[in-house]
């Protein structure tokens, strides 16, 4: 028998404003963020600008991309009245908690992170110190709210394991039961949306080829063209997912379609069995445009009023701060740090 998990009380997740957002971010994160609203737990969503600056960001571009990310959250259904939506740098408790965690986490844990290895490449001595310490800040983002569950895509799994390690080491070192064991919520068929050009690589905003991804700012023509040109094979579609085992590109398109249309891949394949991509791709393009078109439009509407976005983020930051500060203070007390009361 599996042990019953305690009910989730608070959900936290974040997205970096380090480039335009993609269909991967939408299906793996944003769409699910909206779905958690009203299901019981409090939902806290953050645009993690302090994470973005661990690699160089042009200041004016960062500002625009932070607002664009806020617009994408809201256009995807995250409602700032039902969730807390803010940008990380406006709530100093994140950076303060990260410093405390820098003294708990071990350097070796950081070097082992695959995202660090990917981003640093052969240049690991010359990247920013922040890039190495990144997972410590991510643990702080989550634990400074005592959030117990974090919806993310598959690529963030290792960071969440490290968050659990930091919480466990803190609790152990200080003989407390203070930080919760964080539960990763990596669910559904779109936890790892792959590149449209290469089924072995993740769809990513940093891929040099724009044809590899669908951006949330792409118009209907661009979406249809990218899907038409997506790499596939010449085989017809099988009747079940088992038949797509060695066909990563085909499997990716089927998963994308299923996630966009909220149906199971099995139900989708039952309809398309025996048909080729000549029939499947136009149907997928139609669904993609139908779902993403209104989101892109709403993003544009929000972006027309940057002052209003800034106001919403500021209000979210105040609400976030009210939760985070007492937890930071308790952490400082546990560690023996004096503060004025
Ligand atoms: P980031 O900004 O790279 O991505 C944001 C979210 O989108 C998901 N995602 C994908 N899901 C499916 N398929 C894809 N191709 C795909 N690409 C991206 C990511 O898994 C993520 O859920 N370190 C985080 C940001 C972060 C964070 C946090 C997340 C900072 N602090 C605290 C959760 C909790 C990151 O770089 O995500």
Per-residue pLDDT of 39-52, as tens digits, reads: 999 999 999 999 99
* Residue 248: Cβ within 10 Å count: 17
Confidence bin at 341 (pLDDT 50/70/90): confident
Ligand 1 contacts CB of residue 250 (under 6 A): no
What is the distance, to the nearest Å, from the Cα of residue 152 to the centroid of all Cα atoms in its chain? 5
Q: How far is the CA of 14 from the centre of ligand 1 (A)?
A: 7
- 122 has pLDDT over 90: no
Determine whether 281 is an active site residue: no
Q: Are 49 and 66 in contact (CB under 8 A)?
A: yes
Confidence bin at 152 (pLDDT 50/70/90): very high
pLDDT recorded at residue 288: 98
Averaged pLDDT of the chain: 96
Q: How far is the CA of 60 from the centre of ligand 1 (A)?
A: 23
Which of 245, 336, 288 minimizes the C-alpha distance to 24?
288
Confidence bin at 5 (pLDDT 50/70/90): confident
Which of 234, 263, 265, 262 minimizes the C-alpha distance to 251?
265
**Which tokens go with 229?**
């040109």
Q: How far is the CA of 338 from the centre of ligand 1 (A)?
A: 36
pLDDT recorded at residue 61: 97
**Rounded to an integer, what distance in angstroms lies between the CA atom of residue 160 and that of residue 181?**
10
Per the residue annotation, which of 202, 226, 251, 281 is the catalytic one? 202
Q: Which residues pair with 183 in a beta bridge?
A: 149
Ligand 1 contacts CB of residue 296 (under 6 A): no
Which of 81, 15, 90 minimizes the C-alpha distance to 321?
90
- 1 has pLDDT over 70: no
Determine whether 205 is an active site residue: yes
Pairing of β 10-15 and β 183-185 = unpaired
Confidence bin at 3 (pLDDT 50/70/90): low
Confidence bin at 310 (pLDDT 50/70/90): very high
Residue 220 backbone dihedrals phi, psi, to 5 degrees: -55, -40
Q: How far is the CA of 156 from the centre of ligand 1 (A)?
A: 6
pLDDT recorded at residue 2: 55
Q: Are 135 and 163 in contact (CB under 8 A)?
A: yes
Ligand 1 contacts CB of residue 151 (under 6 A): no
Q: How far is the CA of 46 from the centre of ligand 1 (A)?
A: 11
% residues pLDDT > 90 (the chain): 95
Ligand 1 contacts CB of residue 149 (under 6 A): no
**Rounded to an integer, what distance in angstroms lies between the CA atom of residue 143 and that of residue 180?**
8
Determine whether 245 is an active site residue: no
Handedness of CA 139, 144, 146, 149 (dihedral sign): negative
Q: Are 276 and 234 in contact (CB under 8 A)?
A: yes
Q: Among 135, 149, 155, name the best residue to mutate to test ligand 1's pocket (greatest count of ligand atoms within 8 A of Cβ).
A: 155
Q: Each residue of 208-253: pLDDT tens digit?
A: 999 999 999 999 999 999 999 999 999 999 999 999 999 999 999 9
**What is the average per-residue pLDDT within 297-315?**
98
- 271 has pLDDT over 60: yes
Confidence bin at 123 (pLDDT 50/70/90): confident
Residue nearest to atom 19 of ligand 1 (CA): 153
Indicate the DSSP class of residue 22: B
Ligand 1 contacts CB of residue 78 (under 6 A): no
**What is the average per-residue pLDDT within 198-206?**
94
**Rounded to an integer, what distance in angstroms lies between the CA atom of residue 145 and that of residue 326?**
9
Indicate the DSSP class of residue 29: I
């Amino acid at each position: 028998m599996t042990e019953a998990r305690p009910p989730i009380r608070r959900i936290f997740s974040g997205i970096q404003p380090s480039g335009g957002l993609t269909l991967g971010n939408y299906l793996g994160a944003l769409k699910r963020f909206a779905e958690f609203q009203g299901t019981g737990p409090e939902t806290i969503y953050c645009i993690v600008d302090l994470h973005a600056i661990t690699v160089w960001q042009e200041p004016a571009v960062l500002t625009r991309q932070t607002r664009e990310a806020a617009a994408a959250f809201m256009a995807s259904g995250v409602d700032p009245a039902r969730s807390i939506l803010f940008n990380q740098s406006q709530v100093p408790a994140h950076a303060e908690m990260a410093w405390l965690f820098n003294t708990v986490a071990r350097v070796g844990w950081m070097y082992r992170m695959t995202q660090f290895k990917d981003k640093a490449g052969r240049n690991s001595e010359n990247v920013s110190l922040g890039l190495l310490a990144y997972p410590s800040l991510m643990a702080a983002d989550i634990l400074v709210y005592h959030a117990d569950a974090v919806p993310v895509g598959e690529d963030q799994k290792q960071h969440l394991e490290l968050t659990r390690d930091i919480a466990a080491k803190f609790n152990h070192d200080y003989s407390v039961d203070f930080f919760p064991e964080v539960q990763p919520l990596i669910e559904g068929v779109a936890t790892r949306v792959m590149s449209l050009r290469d089924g072995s690589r993740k769809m990513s905003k940093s891929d040099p080829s724009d044809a590899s991804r669908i951006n949330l700012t792409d118009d209907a023509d661009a979406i249809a063209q990218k899907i038409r040109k997506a790499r596939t094979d010449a085989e017809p579609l099988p009747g079940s997912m088992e038949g797509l085992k060695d066909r990563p590109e085909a499997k990716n398109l089927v998963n994308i379609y299923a996630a966009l249309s909220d149906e199971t891949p099995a139900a989708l394949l039952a309809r398309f069995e025996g048909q080729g991509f000549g029939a499947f791709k136009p149907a997928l393009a139609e669904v993609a445009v139908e779902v993403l078109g209104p989101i892109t439009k709403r993003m544009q509407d929000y972006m027309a009023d940057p002052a209003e976005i800034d106001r919403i983020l500021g209000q979210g930051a105040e609400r976030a701060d009210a939760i985070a500060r007492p937890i930071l203070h308790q952490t400082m007390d546990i560690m023996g740090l004096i503060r004025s009361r």
